Amino acid sequence: MSNYFSLLAFVFLFLCCSFSCQDQDEKSFFIEGNYSGTFERNGEQANVELTFSNGTFEGTSERVKFPALCKGTYTLTPKEITFQNECPWTAEFDWTLILNGKWEYQQNANELVLENELGDLYELSKN
């Protein structure tokens, strides 16, 4: 009888992990594409473009290093996106402007909104 419960527990865990991985893959696929919109910090704004593809991102801004966009990788959870910047940067500007670290996100249809703990805000539309 104990083997039956062990097998049942194993099957349950396997199914939970399978559905969890499937949700993650679907979310990664859904966020992929080209986006344009604005970045805002403390009332200052800049037009930006971001591209998400296969767990990687690239970005540009109309203003130099506001925000500091380049390229890197990202991972998703149901409520957060974590960026890992892969570009070297010089020291003469505020490095908190680099797209890096954890951001809360909301996605509705073709709209993507990112916000970090500093209150920085990306409001993007899928092209």
Query: pLDDT digits over 82-100, tens only?
Result: 999 999 999 999 999 999 9
The DSSP code for 66 is T
3-state secondary structure of 11: helix
Query: Would the pLDDT of 81 be above 60?
Result: yes
**Residue 43 clears pLDDT 60, i.e. is over it:** yes
Among the listed ranges 10-24, 60-74, 86-100, which one has the minimum average pLDDT value?
10-24
In terms of average pLDDT, the best of 16-20, 27-31, 122-126 is: 122-126
pLDDT reported for residue 2: 56
Residue 63 per-residue DSSP state: S
